[in-house]
Structure 1
Amino acid sequence: MAFFGAAGLFSSQIASTGAGAALVRPGVCGYPKEISNIRAQEAYNLEGEQLVTFNSEVLLGRLTLTKSVAYARSCYNNYLDGGATDCNIFVRTYLEGVGASAVENAPCPFGGDACATSSAVRYDSGNISSSKDLGINFPEAEDVSIRRVTSCAPINSERYATLWKKNLPEAFGGKTNTSVRFWEFGKGPYGCRATSLENQTDDTTFCISQYQKDYWQDTYTVLAVTAYVVNKTASDFTPVPDFQRDDADVTLISIFSKAKYTDVVNDPLFHAHNNSFTTGTNGKNFSTPTTDLSVLGCTEQYQFCNTANGKCTELTGLYRVLKTVEDGDLELSPQQAATFRVVWKAAWSMVLQWATTILDNSLLLAQDFVFTMKSTTSSPLPDAQWIQEAHNLHNLSLAVLQRRVNEFSSPENFDIRPNLNSLEQMDTPTDVYELNICQHQKIRSTAHVSVSVLGMCIVLGVGSILILLDWTLIQQIFWFRSVTHLRQAKKADWMATGTLQLHRQALEARAIGPWNLGDYLFPVLAERGRIFLGLGVRPDPPGHSSVQDEGSDYNSRTAYNGGKYAAVSEEIILEPLNDPKGWAH
């Protein structure tokens, strides 16, 4: 029974009608055209083709991130927006590679006393297969795996903050001086935005002005800087020693909060215990942030592996991985090298640097607790809100990776501006192996049914073997058991002790018979048209029988008052029925 149950369960997995896998057949493939060092570019400094390329790259990137945010919430986090987005898009609903893990008591990823909490969180995607998980449909010998590790912790921002500096030029309104406070995590090429560069300190990374505190309307303002290993050109700042890592890319995400919470918030990233803000006729006190600027520090690490020979890069920064592979350390085949380039470029899009730049405050789950889009009033946040934020950042990165790989073979198709379609801005690859990837990208499609040919063959083969065994071996076993002495004895005993057989034996003791025993379950009188009287009737005198012919017209018998078979002690009256023959019953 267990075997047939397992077989039934296995057979149910042969075909899936929910969302089958299908190969993409694109008319255009490739990633969007790029301009160099896009992070440092401003639209008003560009013109002509460069402006068009910048326009396309930014809009396509924002579309990818916006869709990935919705996908991560529905299909990874299952948060407030659970189920709103179709999760049957990619080969894997969510990426969870071999060895994936989530640790919430990891050590602080930075030096000194940088972390504001005693522990950090560390999310490891595990080894994600380019074929099994990302849908690039090549044999295992051509497979490449990617691993992403994200570690985050709230930063003790006050440790790196200056005092308020007065009478500095205000950069936003530009009409008056203001007070400015600086946070020194490391010098960047552009400094902070609240005042001019010449008024900033040598290690200024972020700053807040009194003007922002007085007039800023957004509940949260998010800014971030990233330092890449072995690539200063792509980096936003040069970290101070506490935040220098030679084995990870470092991203610091600053959160300037104007939120007014309806109760205190104990979370270390959104900590709000100031009750100075009062509004309404009832004098209701709201809690405002305890610090002027909160910072979440994260490290991002990557590892690529050649699945065929087991060689892997170190777990390190994104650009150091690129250098290792370009040096030939993984010994990739030409097809694997093409797969690596496609996946690495998708990983370049998944970094926190781009997510924070493009999404700003919509990146935060805390934004969901704000009452309205124009309000700064918010519900209080959970005590571990920062852990949810860090987990969401990691999941968002994986969702971007999934979508970006798929977009290489099936780019977004929409009008970037009048008379300019996004497909016209694709940088179509010329490498034959990269073009081969475009023809081997799998997605999930409700218009297709996935059928496992191997599973079908196994079910048919095993089923045929079982049928043959039933026709030969099993039937022979039953026949052998049926002719053995022990089996015959049990069968005879069972036949003889049946209810009707016991009844027959009792009647035979009264000389009632003969009997037809052709069907041992239902013994019947051998002579048709004969009936017999009940066991309680007195035995017949000599020459008479309790079995009478149909149609007899006697109407009474004397009840038997003793003897082995007596059942009644009074006269039994037999009334003839009113039928044409007057038979007695």
Structure 2
Amino acid sequence: MDGNVYLGLWTNWSNGIIWGATLTTTRADGNFLIAFTGFLVPFVASRFWSIICLVFHTYFSTSEPRDAIYHQRQVILRNSSSPDSGLILLLRLFWAWRNTSKASKRSSRLLPIILLSICCISAFTVAGGLSSKISSAPGDKVLLRGDHCGQLQIPTNISDIPEVMSVLSERVMDAALYARQCYSANSSGLLDCDKFVVQSLPMASWDNNTACPFDEGICRSNTSNLLLDTGYIDSNNDLGLNAPEVERFAMRYVLQCAPLVTDGFTNEVVAQNKTFVTYNYGPRPNRSGEDDNSEDFTKEVETLSSQYPSDLIATDSVLNYQLSVTKSKSIDGNFQINQSDFDPIPQLFRSNADLTLIFLSGNGVRFFEPMDDDWYRATLTTGDISFVQTQGNVSSYIPAGAASPMGCLEQWQWCNSAYPRESGCGPLASKLDSLFGAAPMFNLTENELNFGDINSATAAGSRLYWITSMEAMDVDTVRTVLSELGATSLSSQSSLIQGIQYPLPQNQWQLDVTNWFNIVLATIQAQYVFMALGDPDLEQFEVFPSNDAERQLCSSQKIRSTSYTSFSLFGLLFTYITGFLIIIISFVFEPALAYVQKRRKCRDYASIEWSTNAALQLHRLAQEELGIGTWSGCTDIVPVTKEGDILATLDISDLEHPVYYPPGDITRDKSKARSSIGVISMDNVESANENSSVQDSTNAQTIVGDDMDENDNSESERDG
């Protein structure tokens, strides 16, 4: 299945034309694209931060004297390469000035940039996480190519029947396994339930207290019968046929079942010295044309005594129930003899549904305790059951009759989603009548919707015909499911061990019917995928699409696969276009601004400060202040000296206060090195003014403090 996936661009119409634009790649290519996207996001974050730094550095820039916090903030804005590195430096700057006078007022100037860096980090962290979401989780939807699309049909040569039927039987058994694992709330999870676009088709209604769907008196209960209804199943969202709203269809499947009474509908007959019980709910069709009353019954089974002989070993592991199934089809509201197994009596016949009768026989199975279920009816006491290594014994129970019949009505409905539900649906009816009744909704007449006519006048008509051809195989019916699976379709099998049926719920028959319903739904899910895949080994038995509308339907099947990666094209384009725009702007903004200023001959203080606050320019300023080096490129990114110039080296005689000293002046002491650089500390001030009065020193400090306050006020007003 995975080998038929379409690689490239397509539209997932479940998400619309914009959000649904999808790129499907192999898993290896997808991992590479995810990794590259993961690398791109932090790089874009760093370039976005550089734009912010340039804007705010320019905004804060002023030629008026400012304190250390101002200059240190400007240096950080100029030299931090990413929002996280900028945040760390800003927090350290904030912490370093925490104990100074008016620290809160001065440090508050850092808060806007700190908050901005936090917002930037948060935004790009979220963006980095979301970037992985442009690729949906493993198992997301992919599109099948439909290169071998075809529908399996019944062969015209009877010798080919076994080959086709074995494939259909295998598909039904696979559907049963899938339904048991993926439709159950108590699934063990051993099977892969992530192949179809939805794990299970919806069940809109599960009503176990409905009235008898047949004439009153023929059901064992008039109030405790079962109705199951899928509601409207969308061809795109539920079945995976990828199409816009106007090209979709919806289907509905309804199943009603009720155990039937047997009094007045049974006879005992003897054939070949053996006694049988016949159930008379309608005669079998007499297709031979001869007057033969031997088929004037619906089903015959062995008597109860034959199923439970006296020498039967109660714990025989091969013992199991026996299910017998017979169907009656309705077309144009009438019994269809050519496609039916029996002609139902009036009490059972419904003109708007297909009828299936299921007969359950005990066939030697004994019940561990009595069971008054309307279908199992294990109420007759029989011999005791004992076990090796277990003390004592218990009575066992067997069914009250040779067979217990149940009647099930199946109905379908088809809708053209291009129209409102009220006016775009055909009747809820038997399978064939539902398709023929929906023909006008798809711009067809009932006569045009013929199994032999593969050409339809419209695209909508072609879609309905293609569906009708698939439904002609009748795989998705209770009769087909039970004919293939037999007693293994019963959910009671889970507690049937060595011919002994251990305790079951009193509504076990309803659980069995629900399981059949789920298997039918799993079969519906699978048959659309099988249609798109086709079977190269059975091409001689397949019908292929004959027009563009049918071919489009073949190439529109979605599944889920872990072998491929599907990306949101909108997410990819948004991520990469936005990212590359930010990158381009970040590299172009500064030189473009400098070019404009140069052309207009209006280069201002802010741009000069931006240039000189770069790390290499600050290094130049420190060296040049010592009179060392002949420098050029003093407003470029990288300043250079005259070839052969030797620069100052660090004096680390005071490890807590390293300074530069000129080359060739190694013996100079620390205080001399400091004074030559022009550094004025409080120690220098006290040393230089040791003969000054205390009052002069106090006045000097007061003046400095007043200047700092004025700077704070001016800076705060600018930040505001």
TM class by shorter-chain length?
0.5 to 0.7
1:220 counterpart residue number: 321
1:426 counterpart residue number: 542
Deviation (angstroms), 1:77: 2.1
Distance of 1:229 and 1:7 partners within structure 2: 59
Whether contact under 8 Å (2:150, 2:535) holds in the other structure is: no
- SS at the partner of 1:436? helix
User: Which of 485, 494, 505 is the equivalent residue of 1:359?
Assistant: 485
Amino acid at match of 1:323: F
Distance of 1:462 and 1:116 partners within structure 2: 69
Deviation (angstroms), 1:449: 2.2
Amino acid at match of 2:437: T
Do residues 95 (structure 1) and 201 (structure 2) align?
Answer: yes
Do residues 126 (structure 1) and 231 (structure 2) align?
Answer: yes
Do residues 268 (structure 1) and 374 (structure 2) align?
Answer: yes
Whether contact under 8 Å (2:285, 2:337) holds in the other structure is: no
Amino acid at match of 1:119: S
Whether contact under 8 Å (1:124, 1:147) holds in the other structure is: yes
Whether contact under 8 Å (1:149, 1:302) holds in the other structure is: yes
Amino acid at match of 1:204: T
Q: Show the 5 A alignment for 1:111-510.
A: 111-117=215-221, 118-156=223-261, 158-165=262-269, 168-170=270-272, 177-189=273-285, 198-199=293-294, 202-209=296-303, 212-214=306-308, 218-230=319-331, 231-257=336-362, 258-280=364-386, 282-310=392-420, 311-326=424-439, 328-331=440-443, 334-347=458-471, 348-371=474-497, 375-412=498-535, 421-454=537-570
Whether contact under 8 Å (1:161, 1:181) holds in the other structure is: no
- SS at the partner of 1:16? coil
2:152 counterpart residue number: 32
- SS at the partner of 2:550? helix
Amino acid at match of 1:306: N
1:309-334 deviation line (CA, Å, top 9, x unaligned): 231101111011222244x3442673
Distance of 2:305 and 2:359 partners within structure 1: 18
Do residues 82 (structure 1) and 188 (structure 2) align?
Answer: yes
1:112-170 deviation line (CA, Å, top 9, x unaligned): 212223222211112112222212222221111111111122222x23432434xx114
Distance of 1:408 and 1:320 partners within structure 2: 23
Distance of 2:306 and 2:470 partners within structure 1: 36
* Distance change >3 Å, CA 381–CA 334, structure 1 → 2: same
Distance of 1:392 and 1:140 partners within structure 2: 32
Amino acid at match of 2:263: R
**Structure 2 length-normalised TM:** 0.54
Distance of 1:210 and 1:151 partners within structure 2: 28
Distance of 1:67 and 1:430 partners within structure 2: 30
Distance of 1:529 and 1:74 partners within structure 2: 85
The ranges of structure 1 where at least 4 consecutive aligned residues each deviate by more than 6 angstroms after the TM superposition are: 3-12, 456-464
Amino acid at match of 1:169: A
Distance of 1:247 and 1:7 partners within structure 2: 56
1:73-122 deviation line (CA, Å, top 9, x unaligned): 1111245x63122111111211128xx22222222211121222322221
Distance of 2:224 and 2:414 partners within structure 1: 28
Whether contact under 8 Å (1:312, 1:330) holds in the other structure is: no
**Structure 1 length-normalised TM:** 0.66
Do residues 50 (structure 1) and 50 (structure 2) align?
Answer: no
* Distance change >3 Å, CA 161–CA 403, structure 1 → 2: same
Distance of 1:366 and 1:237 partners within structure 2: 28
CA RMSD of the aligned region, Å?
3.7
Amino acid at match of 2:514: H
Distance of 1:7 and 1:339 partners within structure 2: 42
Amino acid at match of 2:330: V
Deviation (angstroms), 1:250: 1.3
* Distance change >3 Å, CA 267–CA 528, structure 1 → 2: farther
Distance of 2:275 and 2:569 partners within structure 1: 71
* Distance change >3 Å, CA 189–CA 7, structure 1 → 2: farther
Distance of 2:548 and 2:576 partners within structure 1: 40
Distance of 2:200 and 2:579 partners within structure 1: 35
Greater helix share, 1 or 2?
2
Q: How many residues are matched?
A: 436
Whether contact under 8 Å (2:140, 2:565) holds in the other structure is: yes
Gaps of 5+ in 1: 37-48, 171-176, 192-196, 414-420, 465-525, 532-542, 548-585
